[in-house]
Amino acid sequence: MQVLEELARFLDTSPEELERESLKSFLGKELRKVEAEMYKLGARHGIKSVLEAKS
């Protein structure tokens, strides 16, 4: 945790805020990957929308 505290001090923010924003950024990136994969799978199987996949 020392690195997090040093980086937070360098960025003039709290370690908690840095951790929260980093996690938000990471999870957003992962969500975009999952959504892209879902789109590819849907396209491969001829599904045009999420609603169509639920039927």
Query: What residues have CB less than 8 Å from 20, skipping those under 6 apart?
Result: none
Res. 5 pLDDT band, cuts 50 70 90 = very high
Question: What is the arithmetic mean of pLDDT over 20-36?
Answer: 96
The residue with greater pLDDT, 12 or 42, is 12
Residue spans of the domains in the chain: they are 2-54
25: pLDDT strictly greater than 60: yes
Exposure letters 1-38 (e unless 16+ CB within 10 A, then b): eeeeeeebeeeeeebeebeeeeeeeeeeeeeeeeeeee
55: pLDDT strictly greater than 60: no
Question: What is the arithmetic mean of pLDDT over 19-31?
Answer: 97
Res. 54 pLDDT band, cuts 50 70 90 = low
